[in-house]
Chains A and B, each alone.
Chain A
Amino acid sequence: MKILVCISHVPDTTAKINFTSDSSALDGNGIQFVINPYDEFGLTKALQLKEKHGGTVTVVTYGDTRVEQTLRKALAIGADDAVRLDGIPTDPMQVAGELAAHVQSAGYDLVICGQESIDYNGGIVPGALAAHLDWAFVNACIGLTLEGQQADCLREMDGGKEAVKATLPMVIAGKKGLVEESELRIPNMRGIMTARTKPLIPQPLAGTTPASHPASFTKPAPKAAVQLIDSSNLEELVRRLHEEAKVI
């Protein structure tokens, strides 16, 4: 079985976000970039599936040379090889188009994405990729077992979950639950050493045109100072929630 894990390279969750002085882009200075947390679940799931069913796990990121450190980390965690689609994406439809071109050229049985990238929070790429490929798609996937070509998935819905059956090849967009937090793999010394010699191949783009572009970025206005209310006077809190905040 050939599995592809699509990995977004995103600011660490603790990063303070700043934008360039002309407001046109993220200011990456001083920010540490990591594997998108949703994709970490996907990578671990892919490695578990490989151990059970055999095959290979490839990771792919569409980005410039800066994303290579993130791909190396994925190799250190256990992926067999990595592909970098060489360019700087600005739009989810473009990312989906480029990923689809790679999937079609290399041939995979299963593509695992994350439910969203924690940078631009698009949540668009996986579904658009599945549509490009004309493969089944399960979003918010919190469980996956395979038997031959048959996939049994669990999908999170508003206020619950549902079982979904599909036939490979397919695309899933995963989140916590796909594997548990405690199962997440981290690179060990041997992994880090072998990662250096695993293939990480830059590939030229197919040339998909973006369908949208960012015009500017700003930070939300800072919040006013908290109003502390004495814990012996909860009626005062209730009154303010009604009269000031108008939320009850």
Chain B
Amino acid sequence: MVLIFAETWNGHFKKSTFEAVRYGAQCATSQGSKAVAIVVGPCAPPVESLGAYGATHVIHLHGSDRFEPFAFAAAIAAVAKEHDATHIIVSGTANGKALAGVLASKASASAISNITALPTGFAPLTVQRSAFSSKGIEVCVSDARCTVMVLVPNALGAGAAGSDTAQVEDRHISFEGKSHPGDAQVASGSIPLPEAERVISAGRGMKGPENWGMIEELATVLQAGTACSKPVSDIGWRPHSEHVGQTGIQINPQLYIAIGISGAIQHLAGVSGSKTIVVINNDPEAPFFKAADYGIIGDAFDVVPRLTQALKAYLSN
């Protein structure tokens, strides 16, 4: 069977969870096996709703309300062993990435991360992944009986929700972690970058942190996440958590708008998985134009506010 880690945040499913469930269900269908989702801790929406994305069963584990990699890995590995799971699907969120290696070891599984497509074979499991910071595509083959598969968030899509509900089994277990999570600060209202469908990103061309108002306004209109180039976070204009690129966060949004960013190879390495790239830069020679779908040669301070207006006008129609 295919086991899917259905991650929650604050008692709600993450968006990437639906994508992971759909992926797991497709893998299960291809092999004539079952897709079972595993939910840990409090969850406000009815967990049977994961049936809408193809899970036939949900195992809901009670006894922990905080993510801890060892505790979660041990609980998930125990279920995987009990059901002789052949695939364990995890979305590559922050928690998913923290979990994957520990889980693979506990489940005596192999681990394939950065997956960007459905498997092309199941005996043995053969699947495409992104490598060399999006500069290469690797076809990877698992040599183990069970494989932990880590998906690139946003790369695959959840598809439309159906109306099926899954059969639920509740279990109360004790979780044993090795570390103690304490205070957490999460910026309220902000969209986590790996999950954002649209990202507005700006670079040194913005001249200073005081000019980010127009970037945030554009992001608000498009319900987008905000990102920046590395030097911008290094000088402290924006927080580290917004730094995208080879050494920052890697993203695959539907739409990436890069403003005042030159398009250095290290920057492109983290964003070239974006479906559509728009570049706004006043230098027609900026390398980013070579990686863009749409380009506007112009001064950001002139173009961005007008683009925000044009989008507002369009969206209100």
Contacts and interface: CB of A to CB of B under 8 A. Distances in A.
A216 interface: yes
A119 B254 CA distance: 25
Contacts, number: 287
Interface residues on A, range: 35 or more
B125 to A, nearest CB: 9
Interface in A153-168: 153, 155-166
B98 A137 contact: yes
A238 B310 contact: yes
A241 B314 CA distance: 11
Nearest to A158: B192
Contacts of B112: 212
Interface residues on B, range: 35 or more
A161 B184 contact: yes
Give the secondary structure class of B's interface.
mixed
A167 to B, nearest CB: 8
A210 B143 contact: yes
A236 B173 CA distance: 57
A127 B105 contact: yes
Nearest to A215: B139
A109 interface: no
Nearest to A94: B110
B265 A165 contact: no
B55 to A, nearest CB: 22
Contacts of B183: 162-163
B13 interface: no
B198 A247 contact: yes
A166 B180 CA distance: 6
Interface in A105-124: 115, 118-124
26 contacts: A19-B136, A38-B247, A92-B111, A118-B247, A127-B104, A131-B104, A132-B105, A135-B178, A137-B70, A138-B98, A161-B184, A164-B181, A212-B144, A213-B140, A220-B135, A220-B272, A226-B294, A227-B293, A228-B289, A228-B296, A237-B294, A238-B314, A241-B294, A245-B255, A247-B275, A248-B222
